[in-house]
């Protein structure tokens, strides 16, 4: 959510940003929110004047009663009563107007960074850099579920009977590989100075609306019936929520946290043939990283975050590339974002395995995450998040890139301690 004062003083900038996001249907909202805000401020001014006048009249009434001027005092009391009734009306009006303003402001997209490429959808995303040499082996690489089945490592049929489509059983070495990747990612991030955390897997609605847009919420979140709780779609939500309504000392920033959690997503919409198996699912586990920092440091941290993911994948012999998200592909709260994509030897192309985002002060403004500077002034922090690793999608890339012609899979040196010393699985 952008600053209301900024919108009030720079409506043309906000409108131009909306156009860059290809959300022209939201253009009238800028003028609407300015009009509602003006009405709200007028109501507040009148209410403040009535409150101040009430204090003055109250003193006058006391003086008049002391002088025995009862009739004059009673007349002033009648005026106080009328003012009180008007004040009640104004307070209700002000509250209603403020709620309308807030609701609209939460749908107006954040101001994107000038470096973001302009484009309508993900087809306009821009490749930044490749890391590692993509290899296409001479033998045919099977679909990932076929590779897993040869190890007796997956059971989709049983999962379908138990929970429906979008779920799976992982078994044996494949299940162990899944856990090994998560454990390795945890230690990888701890070694880079991040504090390890296991967060709540459910969050309240005020946290949900603080960390994401309404559209994202509807498309992703599972609601717990009868309670004000949602299952998290990613641990960054509860991790950022950890700082809700806090004032943080400037010298203690940045907070750098890495978290493990299961994740639950609706994943609505049609899925392509390449999204079968365990590519797009309702339940998975993930290692995440988040940063809460000073505004002037957020872009530096943005580059550090995506580089962490690149380095982790390269340590497991998986070629990757970074892809800059264009304006139309950015969620409304994001200032800047890039995807990390892994090489698929089977598809002979890259596919998404992680996403890094700088959200500026949008989440902090919604959640009231403030920083107290050395001068005593308070300001909103900047928040960032990035995927460290999200199996089983990451395992798809791992299996394809470490597969041998005989069907065995090499275990990179970095992962061997987490696989009981195994160098290969057969």
* Tens-place pLDDT, residues 315-331: 999 999 999 999 999 99
Q: Which helix (H) or strand (E) holds 185?
A: helix 172-191
pLDDT digits (tens, 9 = 90+) for 71-99: 676 777 777 777 788 888 888 999 999 99
Provide the pLDDT confidence category of residue 202 given band limits of 50, 70 and 90: very high
Of 387, 395, 389, the closest CA to residue 411 belongs to 395
State what percent of residues in the chain have pLDDT above 90.
81
Please give the radius of gyration of the chain, using alpha carbons only, rounded to the nearest integer: 28
Q: Where are the domains of the chain?
A: 4-105, 122-425
Given a cut of 80, whether residue 184 has pLDDT beyond it is: yes
Residue 225 has pLDDT above 60, yes or no: yes
Residue length of the chain: 426
pLDDT at residue 149 above 90? yes
Q: What is the DSSP letter of 270?
A: -
How high is the pLDDT of residue 392? 85
Q: For residue 271, is pLDDT > 70? A: no
Could you confirm whether domain 122-425 is CATH 3.10.580.10? no
Question: Is residue 8 predicted with pLDDT exceeding 60?
Answer: yes
Residues forming a β-bridge with 138: none
Residue 376 pLDDT more than 90?
Answer: yes
Mean pLDDT rounded to a whole number for the chain: 92
- Identify each DSSP E strand in 190-277 by its residue range: 195-197, 202-203, 222-223, 230-231, 246-249, 255-264
Residue 188 pLDDT > 60, yes or no?
yes
What is the pLDDT at residue 267? Answer: 78
Does position 269 have pLDDT exceeding 60, yes or no? no
Instruction: Read off the pTM.
Output: 0.89
Q: What is the pLDDT of residues 108-140, one digit of tens each?
A: 999 999 999 999 999 999 999 999 999 999 999
pLDDT at res. 224: 94
> For the residues 187-201, what does the mean pLDDT come to?
97
- CA 187 from chain center: how many Å? 23
- Between 70 and 283, the more confident residue is 283
pLDDT of 75:
72
Tracing tokens 């969050």 back to the chain, one arrives at 203
Helix (H, G, I), strand (E, B) or coil at 136: coil
Q: What are phi and psi of 119, to 5 degrees?
A: -165, 155
Residue 280: pLDDT band (50, 70, 90) is: confident
Question: Among 170-174, 204-208, 274-278, 303-307, whose mean pLDDT is lowest?
Answer: 274-278
Query: What average pLDDT does this structure show over 218-228?
Result: 90
Summarised one tens digit per residue, pLDDT across range 392-424 is 889 999 999 999 999 999 999 999 999 999 999
4-105 is classed in which CATH architecture?
A: Orthogonal Bundle (1.10)
In 3D, which of 170, 385, 358 has the Cα closest to residue 257? 385
* pLDDT score at 101: 95
377 vs 86: CA distance, rounded Å? 36
pLDDT per position as a tens digit, 45-68: 988 888 877 767 766 766 666 666
Among 77-81, 291-295, 308-312, whose mean pLDDT is lowest?
77-81
């Amino acid at each position: 959510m952008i600053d209301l004062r900024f919108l009030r003083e720079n409506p043309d900038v906000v409108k131009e940003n909306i156009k860059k996001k290809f959300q022209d249907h939201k253009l009238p909202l800028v003028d609407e929110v300015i009009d509602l805000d003006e009405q709200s401020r007028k109501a507040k001014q009148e209410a403040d004047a009535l409150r101040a006048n009430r204090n003055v009249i109250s003193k006058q009434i006391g003086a008049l009663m002391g002088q025995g001027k009862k009739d004059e005092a009673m007349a002033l009391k009648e005026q106080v009563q009328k003012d009180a009734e008007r004040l009640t009306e104004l307070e209700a009006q002000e509250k209603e107007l403020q709620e309308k303003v807030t609701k609209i402001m939460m749908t107006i997209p954040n101001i994107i960074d000038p470096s973001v490429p302009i484009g309508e959808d993900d087809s306009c995303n821009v490749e930044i850099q490749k890391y590692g040499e993509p290899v296409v082996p001479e033998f045919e690489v099977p679909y990932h579920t076929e590779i897993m089945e040869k190890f007796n490592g997956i059971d989709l049929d049983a999962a379908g009977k138990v929970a429906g489509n979008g779920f799976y059983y992982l078994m044996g070495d494949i299940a162990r590989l899944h856990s090994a990747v998560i454990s390795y990612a945890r230690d990888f991030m701890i070694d880079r100075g991040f504090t390890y955390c296991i967060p709540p897997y459910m969050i309240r609605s005020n946290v949900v609306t603080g960390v994401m847009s309404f559209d994202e919420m509807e498309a992703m979140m599972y609601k717990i019936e009868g309670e004000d709780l949602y299952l998290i779609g990613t641990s960054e939500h509860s991790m950022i929520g950890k700082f809700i309504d806090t004032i943080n000392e400037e010298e203690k920033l940045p907070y750098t946290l890495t978290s493990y959690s299961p994740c639950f997503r609706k994943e609505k919409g049609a899925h392509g043939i390449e999204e079968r198996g365990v590519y797009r699912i309702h339940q998975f586990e993930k290692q995440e990283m988040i940063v809460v920092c000073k505004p002037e440091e957020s872009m530096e941290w943005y580059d550090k975050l995506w580089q962490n993911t690149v380095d982790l994948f390269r340590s497991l012999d998986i070629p990757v590339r970074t892809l800059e998200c264009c304006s139309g592909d950015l969620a409304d709260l994001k200032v800047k974002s890039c995807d990390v994509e892994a090489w698929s030897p089977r598809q002979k192309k890259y596919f998404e395995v992680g996403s890094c985002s700088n959200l500026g002060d949008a989440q902090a403004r919604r959640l009231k995450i403030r920083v107290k500077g050395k001068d005593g002034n308070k300001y909103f922090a900047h928040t960032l998040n990035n995927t460290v690793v999200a199996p089983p999608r990451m395992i798809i890339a791992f299996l394809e890139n470490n597969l041998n012609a005989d069907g065995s899979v090499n275990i990179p040196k970095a992962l061997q301690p987490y696989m009981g010393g195994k160098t290969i699985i057969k």
